[in-house]
Amino acid sequence: MSRLKTLVRNQNGVPPLRGGHSLCQGCGVPLVVRTVLGTIKSPVVVVNATGCLEVATTRYPTTAWNVPWLHVAFENAAAVASGVESAQRALRRRHALPADEEVAVVVFAGDGGTYDIGLQALSGALERGHRFLFVCYDNEAYMNTGVQRSGATPFGASTTTSPAGLESWGKAQQRKDMTAIAVAHHIPYVAQAAATHWHDLSVKVERAVAAPGPAFLNVLTDCPVGWGHEPRLFAKVIDTAVDCLFWPLYEVVDGHYRLTSVPPETVPVKDWLALQTRFAHLLRPENAGVVDGIQMRVEEDWEALVDRCDELVAA
């Protein structure tokens, strides 16, 4: 189990992702990357889908990466990782690489590159059983291109392509349950985590890379620009998403569900919505019914998840 000191120590010397990149203040994505890569003890190859992380860390001729890093396109990160993993298997079999030195293949993709345009390649790679870790940093919209709605955008959020207006209360559809879609592939490890729950995330990364096949981590993180909050509030906003049960922390190991963290005190979803300008329109009195609907949906989803769980809290 990684402690904060261990995570920091792992990054001393040559951190996998350096500072000096151009990700925004208050963006949780570098925290996710550092927690994931700081936890993995073996060498890694990172495959990055097109998105904020790729653009902000590799503006040629600079790079923030100190580990092998590949970016090909937006929708195909899982397919590229399939190729890297197959290459490793082929070369080890031919003794062109040492048999006892495994290199972990880790994908980082945003929600667009996972839920939407990247879903087919991800599904194929999960079905084929490649041994790799796919980390979705889910900030719930196409932030890199300027906050357009995605399949991960929650109901009611105002984005530039689902704007709130006189006849609209933002995105009119429910978000898709990507974690459940990953589970449906019968892979050995799937988990949902949050950027600020670094300890929970780190434990999940350890389990994910030890899994004998594909692993999928869906990590909620913020976007101060797209969510509309001050950068200094990033931890509070993400924590509140967990505490209001909008984003439960759980894992599914060989099909067995387990909640890894249950908020000691549950807060109303409205508390989370109120922290972000993307939901500001919902807080007007005439939209109270919409907020009630969101609350009800979150509770139903939570109950359904609890029903699926063998264990309610961390063992």
Partner 1 sequence: MSDLQLLTGGEAVAHAMRQIDPDVVPVYPITPQTPIIQTFAKFVADGKARTEIVNVESEHSAMSASIGAALAGARTMTATSSQGLALMAEVVYIAASMRAPIVMALGNRALSGPINIHCDHSDSMLIRDSGVIQLFAENAQEAYDLTLIAPRLAEHPDVLLPVLVCQDGFTITHSAEPVALLADEAVPAFVRDYFIPHPALDVSRPTTQGPFAMPDYYFEFRRQQAAAIEAATEAFEEVAAEFAFLTGRPYGVIEEYRLDDAARAIVALGSTAGTVKDVVDELRDAGEAVGLLKITSFRPFPAAAVTRALAGVKTVTVLDRADSPGGAPPLRAEVANALYGSGCELDGAVYGLGGRDLHPADIRAVFAGATSSHIGLRGEPCPV
Q: Are 221 and 28 in contact (CB under 8 A)?
A: yes
Shortest distance in whole angstroms from residue 156 CB to partner 1? 33
Q: Are 47 and 75 in contact (CB under 8 A)?
A: no
Shortest distance in whole angstroms from residue 186 CB to partner 1? 16
Binding segment for partner 1 among 121-129, 177-185, 205-213, 289-297 (CB under 8 A)? Answer: 121-129
* Among residues 69, 115, 142, 272, the one that binds partner 1 under rule CB under 8 A: 69
Q: Which of residues 247-306 bind partner 1 (CB under 8 A)?
A: none
Is residue 68 involved in binding partner 1 (CB under 8 A)? Answer: yes
Cα(152)–Cα(150) distance, integer angstroms: 5
* Among residues 24, 103, 267, 280, the one that binds partner 1 under rule CB under 8 A: 103
Cα(142)–Cα(157) distance, integer angstroms: 13
* Among residues 9, 41, 86, 284, the one that binds partner 1 under rule CB under 8 A: 86
**Tokens coding 185:** 């592939």
Is residue 145 involved in binding partner 1 (CB under 8 A)? Answer: no
Residue 188, C-beta contacts closer than 8 angstroms, at least 6 positions apart: 211, 212, 213, 214, 215, 253, 254
What is the DSSP-derived secondary structure letter of residue 56?
H
In the bound state with partner 1, the residue whose beta carbon lies nearer, of 7 and 56, is 56
Q: Annotate 265-289 with b (16+ C-beta within 10 A) or e (fewer).
A: eeeebbebbebbebbebbeeeebee
* Among residues 47, 141, 152, 164, the one that binds partner 1 under rule CB under 8 A: 47
Shortest distance in whole angstroms from residue 234 CB to partner 1? 24
Shortest distance in whole angstroms from residue 126 CB to partner 1? 10
Phi, psi of 46, rounded to the nearest 5 degrees: -100, 135
Cα(152)–Cα(280) distance, integer angstroms: 19
Is residue 144 involved in binding partner 1 (CB under 8 A)? Answer: no
In the bound state with partner 1, the residue whose beta carbon lies nearer, of 90 and 184, is 90
Cα(56)–Cα(33) distance, integer angstroms: 13
In the bound state with partner 1, the residue whose beta carbon lies nearer, of 72 and 180, is 72
Residues that bind partner 1 (CB under 8 A): 43-45, 47, 54-55, 58-61, 63, 65-73, 75-76, 79-84, 86-91, 93-94, 96-97, 103, 120-121, 123-125, 127-128
